[in-house]
């Protein structure tokens, strides 16, 4: 992800610096959820990716190079919240759906109907691309592509 622009309605911000940090953190967490945090189970049905030590969580290196966050101060928002503020921690997590959609759109620029589930790991993006390549016409070739990707 090269650039992200977020405009978030905070009602009346209690602390703009904290709100911006919460928005950035929620967005990056959502990026991880949709691009790297893959769940794996063993043959017995035990979850093998149960902690940050067993799956990739986002790091500072995963943060977009350009990350613009602007707070939309909305003084007309009237609610029974402290100083008419709004939540800023969890809602930005869902904004990261745009990251998954950007990957789908990028694949769609080259493929007719790309199938890309979440999380869109690098392996699943490669598999989605290879599964839809016209050169991989037969089902045997698609299975070979699947096997090749699974060992990456």
90 counts as catalytic: yes
Residue 41 DSSP code: B
pLDDT of residue 151: 39
Cα-only R_g, the chain: 20
Catalytic one among 37, 38, 70, 90?
A: 90
Contact 96, 102 (CB under 8 A): no
User: Which residues face 71 on adjacent strands?
Assistant: 8
pLDDT averaged over consecutive 10-residue blocks of the chain (152 residues)?
A: 90 88 93 92 93 87 93 71 68 91 91 87 87 52 47 38
pLDDT of residue 73: 73
pLDDT of residue 75: 67
């Amino acid at each position: 992800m090269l650039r992200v622009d977020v405009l978030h309605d905070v009602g009346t911000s209690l602390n703009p610096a904290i709100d911006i940090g919460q928005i950035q953190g929620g967005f990056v967490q959502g990026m991880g959820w949709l691009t790297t945090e893959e769940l794996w189970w063993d043959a017995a049905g035990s979850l093998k990716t149960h902690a940050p030590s067993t799956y990739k969580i986002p790091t500072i290196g995963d943060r977009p190079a350009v990350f613009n966050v602007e707070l939309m101060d909305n003084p007309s928002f009237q609610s029974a919240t402290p100083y008419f503020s709004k939540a800023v921690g969890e809602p930005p997590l869902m904004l990261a759906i745009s990251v998954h959609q950007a990957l789908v759109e990028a694949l769609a620029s080259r493929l007719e109907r790309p199938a890309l589930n979440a999380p869109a790991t690098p392996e699943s993006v490669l598999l989605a691309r290879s599964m839809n390549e016209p050169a991989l016409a037969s089902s045997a070739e698609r299975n070979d592509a699947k096997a090749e990707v699974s060992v990456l």
